[in-house]
Chains A and B, each alone.
Chain A
Amino acid sequence: MYQLGNLVKELSDKHGRARESLMPILQGIVEKHNYLTDEAMVEVAKELDISAAEVYGTASFYTFLDTQVRGKYVIRVCKTITCSMKGKGEIIQTLEDMLKIKVGETTSDRQFSLIETNCIGWCHKAPAMLINEMPYTELTPEKVVEIIKGYMQKK
C-alpha cells in the first residue's frame, strides 16, 4: 500500500504549502485512499503549518472529503427531488440488498460504501448516482445490478 506520509509530502510538493493548497491536497488523498484518516489530516496540518482542527473543520464542510472509513468504491445516490420522484427508493433498496449494507455503511471487505447525496446535476436522466467520480444515469434496479457486478469483478 501507498505510504501515507509520502503521499501527503508528494501532494504538498505538487500543490504547494499555502492555505489554498489544502483542498487539492485533501482531494488528492481521497482519490488514493477513499477517505481522510486522522493521521493523514495531522500530516497535512504539519505540512501546511496549520492546526489539525482546522484541517478537520475544512474537510468536514465538504461532502466528498470523507473523514469516516469509506470503501474503494463510494456509491452516492442522488436523493434530491427528481431522483426521489423517479425511483431513488428502489435503487437504494437494490444496492442495499446486493451489498448487504444500509445507507451510510461500508462493506466489510472495504470495497463499497453506500451513501445518499444532494443533487448531482442529472435530473433529466433521473434516477442517478455517482460511483467515485463516474455518473450513472437513468437507473433501473436491473441496470444497477449490472453496474455493481462490473465493479465487483474489477477487484
Chain B
Amino acid sequence: MINLSINNQRVSVQPGTTVLEAAKKLNINIPTLCNHPDLCVAGNCRVCVVEQTGARTLIAACAMPVAEGMDIQTNTLKVRNARKHIVELLLSEHRSDCTKCYKNQKCELQALANEFAFGDTIFLDLVADRPYTIDRSSPSFMKDDSKCIRCQRCVRTCTELQHISAIAVANKGMHQKISSFHDRPMSHVVCTNCGQCVNRCPTGALVEKTYIDQVWDAIYDPDKHVVVQTAPAVRVALGEDLGYDPGERVTGKMVTALRQLGFDSVLDTDFSADLTIMEEGTELLTRLKKVLVDGDKKTRVPMFTSCSPGWIKFIEHKYPELLPNLSTCKSPQQMFGALAKTFFASKKKIDPAKVVSVSVMPCTAKKYEADRPEMRSSGYKDIDYVLTTRELAVMIKQAGIDFRNLEPSHYDSIMGESTGAAVIFGATGGVMEAALRTAYEIVTGREIPFKNLNITPVRGMEGVKEASLKIEGCVDDWKFLEGAELKVAIAHGLVNANKLMRLVSKGKAPYHFIEIMACPGGCIGGGGQPIPTSMEIRKNRMKAIYSEDEHMVLRKSHENPDVIAIYKEFLGKPNSHAAHELLHTHYTERESY
C-alpha cells in the first residue's frame, strides 16, 4: 500500500492508483473534464491540476500515480488561479450560445464555468475569428466544431470502445481539431452512428439530431394517427433523466406519459423483438439444416444477429466479405415499422398514409437505420421519426408531466404484448438468450434446461462471451441436430465485435451463432441513453432489465399472443414469403474509410 496525504488527510491506496482516485476515497472532489471512467487517461484538459509539495509545476490528478509520502493540496491559491484560467481558456475557444444549446444545463463545461469562471471574461473570444464547421450530414447526430474543447473523449471512445476511429485528432497547435478522414462529412465516412461519442461529449459539440419538433407537429395534426413504439432498454434508463437513480424500471409510467403526450397508439418494440426471435431463430435452424444436411456451400454459418444498426454499418464498412453471415432479419424497430403501416393500419382501418410511426430508442444509429432507402417495405417510410431516450425525457418535461406521480398503465393491444425474452434484448447476451429459449423448444419440444429459464452463461459484462449447449431429444423435424453441440458467442462494444470478426475471417471461429451489439453492455449502454454513462450505471440498467424479465408472466417469444396472432392472421409461418417481404432486408458493402 502507498501512503500519502491529500489536504492534510492521510490515505493508503494500492500502487498504481491515481491522485484523483485517492482523493475520491477521501471524498475530496477534484474537478475533471477530459477524464471519463470508460476511457484511458488523457491528462489533456488540465482542469484537475493540484499542487504537490516540492514539485516545480502543478500535476494533473487524473494522470499522476500516487507515490509514497506524497503531499497533495487541491485547493491552494495557485491551484485555484490555474483552474480558473484553464476553464476561461476553454470558454474562449467554445461558442457559448448556452441558452440556445441542446446541452444547456447538461454541459460539463457549463458546470465548471458556473464554479470557476463567473464574473468578467478575461480572455479574447477565439471562436469569432476562425472558420468552423457544423456537420449536420448524419441523420443521427451533429458535430459542431465551434463547441469542441478538444478533450478527445470522442476520439478515445471511437478508438478504444468501438475500434473504428472514424474521427481522429488532426492538425496541431491552434489548428488542432477533431476530424473525420480529411474533413469529409460524417455521413460519408466509416462512422457507424452508434452515438457513443455523443454519450461522452462534455459539451454540445456532439449531440443527437433531434426530431422532437417534428413529432410534436405530427401529434398536433388531427389528420394523423401517431403510433409510438418503445425499445426494451428505454424503460430501464428513462428514469435517470427524470430524477430517478440508474436502474429504476419506469415502464408503466412511461406508457402513461406517452398517452398524455398525445400519441394515438402506444405500442411496444418488445412485440417485434419477439417476432424477431421467431424469424431469426427459424433462419438459424434453416441455415444449420442447409449446411449440415444439405451440404449447401453458399449458406454461411456462424450466423450473426442483425438487430443493432451500429453493428450493421460496422460490418458493411469493415468486413463486407462477411455480410452473407448476417441474418437477413430486420431489427425489431424496422419490423415494427413495416407492420405499423400494413397490418396494424388495416386492423385499425386507418389509411396507412395517415399513420406516423415514431420510435423511442436507446440509440442514435436507429435514426440512420430508419433513413435507409431499403426500409420502405410498407410502401411508405416505415419509421418516420426516431427519438432517443433523452429526447423522450425532454418531451415529458416540455409537456409539464409530473412523471413521478403518474399511474402506471399498459401498452395498447395488437402490437403491444411482450414477453421477458423481448425485454432482455436490451442487454448484451439478451438476443442470444431469447433465441435459445425459443429455438431449443422448437427443436426438442422441451423448455431449455436452465433454472427459471435464466441462461446465465450468456449474461454479464465480459466483452466476449462463449457458451455451448448440447441438443438432445430432438423432435422429428430436427432429428439431424440430435447430439449436436450448439456453440454460440456474444460480443458487445465494437472493439469486441472486431475481435470475433477477426476470428471468423480467419476461419477460426467454431460458432454457429454470434450475437453482436454495437454498444458497451448492449442497448442499455446505447448512444441515445441518458448521460452520463459508466460501467456502474450500465450494470444497474442491466440488473433492471433482468428483473423486468423475471416479473413477466410470459418469458418466451413464441408464447407472445400478439405474435401468435399475427402469424395466424397475416404472416403465415416464420420465414414465409410475406414475412420475407416485410421483415427481412439486405445489406450494402461500404468504403473502408
Contacts and interface: CB of A to CB of B under 8 A. Distances in A.
Interface of A: 38, 41-42, 45-46, 50-57, 60-61, 67
Interface in B161-199: 164-172, 179-182, 189-190
Contacts of B180: 53
B190 A67 contact: no
B579 to A, nearest CB: 38
Contact of A42 (B159, B166, B592): B592
Interface in B535-593: 592-593
Given A38-B182, A67-B182, A53 B189 contact: yes
Given A42-B592, A42-B593, A53 B172 contact: no
Interface of A (DSSP majority class): helix
B182 A54 contact: no
A115 to B, nearest CB: 14
A54 B169 CA distance: 8
Which of B167, B171, B593 has the most chain A CB atoms inside 10 A of its CB?
B593
Contacts, number: 56
Contacts of A38: 181-182
Interface of B is mostly: loop
Contacts of B171: 60-61
Interface residues of B, number: 18
B166 A57 contact: no
A56 B168 contact: yes
23 contacts: A41-B181, A42-B181, A46-B592, A50-B165, A51-B165, A51-B166, A51-B593, A52-B182, A52-B592, A53-B165, A53-B166, A53-B179, A53-B180, A53-B593, A54-B159, A54-B168, A56-B181, A57-B168, A57-B179, A60-B170, A60-B171, A60-B172, A67-B182
Given A61-B171, A61-B172, A53 B592 contact: no
A61 B189 CA distance: 21
Counting from the closest, the 5 A-B pairs by CB-CB distance are A57-B168, A51-B165, A52-B593, A53-B168, A52-B181
A51 B180 CA distance: 10
A61 B170 CA distance: 6
B87 to A, nearest CB: 27
A54 B165 contact: yes
A92 B171 CA distance: 25
Contacts of A50: 165
Nearest to A67: B182
A50 B166 CA distance: 11
A64 to B, nearest CB: 13
B182 A56 contact: yes
Interface of B: 159, 164-172, 179-182, 189-190, 592-593
B182 A41 contact: yes
Contacts of A53: 165-168, 170, 179-181, 189-190, 593
Contacts of B190: 51-53
Contact of A57 (B170, B189, B593): B170
Contacts of B189: 52-53
Given A57-B170, A61-B171, 10 more contacts: A38-B181, A42-B593, A52-B189, A53-B165, A53-B168, A53-B190, A56-B170, A57-B168, A57-B169, A60-B179
A45 B592 contact: yes
Nearest to A42: B593
A143 B189 CA distance: 48
Given A45-B592, A56-B179, A67-B182, A51 B169 contact: no
Contacts of A60: 170-172, 179
A57 B592 CA distance: 16
| Candidate in B181, B189, B190, B592 with the most chain A CB atoms within 10 angstroms | B181
Contacts of A41: 181-182
Contacts of B164: 51
A117 B169 CA distance: 22
Contacts of A57: 168-170, 179
Contacts of B165: 50-51, 53-54
A118 to B, nearest CB: 10
A51 B182 contact: no
Nearest to A46: B592
A54 B170 CA distance: 8
B543 to A, nearest CB: 35
B501 to A, nearest CB: 13
A57 B166 CA distance: 11
A14 B181 CA distance: 25
Contacts of B169: 57
Contacts of B182: 38, 41, 52, 56, 67
B157 to A, nearest CB: 13
Contacts of A56: 168, 170, 179, 181-182
Nearest to A55: B181
A37 B530 CA distance: 41
Contacts of B592: 42, 45-46, 52
Nearest to A45: B593
B186 to A, nearest CB: 11
Nearest to B172: A61
Contacts of A54: 159, 165, 168
A41 B179 CA distance: 15
B210 to A, nearest CB: 26
B503 to A, nearest CB: 15
Contacts of A51: 164-166, 168, 181, 190, 593
Contacts of B166: 51, 53
A55 B164 CA distance: 13
A45 B166 CA distance: 12
A53 B189 CA distance: 9
B587 to A, nearest CB: 21
Nearest to B164: A51
Nearest to B173: A61
Nearest to B180: A53
Contacts of A46: 592
A121 B567 CA distance: 79
Among A42, A51, A55, A60, the one with the most B-chain Cβ atoms within 10 Å of its Cβ is A51
Most buried by B among A42, A45, A46, A57: A57
Contacts of B170: 53, 56-57, 60-61
Most buried by A among B168, B179, B180: B168
Nearest to A37: B182
A110 B259 CA distance: 66
A152 B168 CA distance: 39
A50 B181 CA distance: 12
A55 B168 CA distance: 9
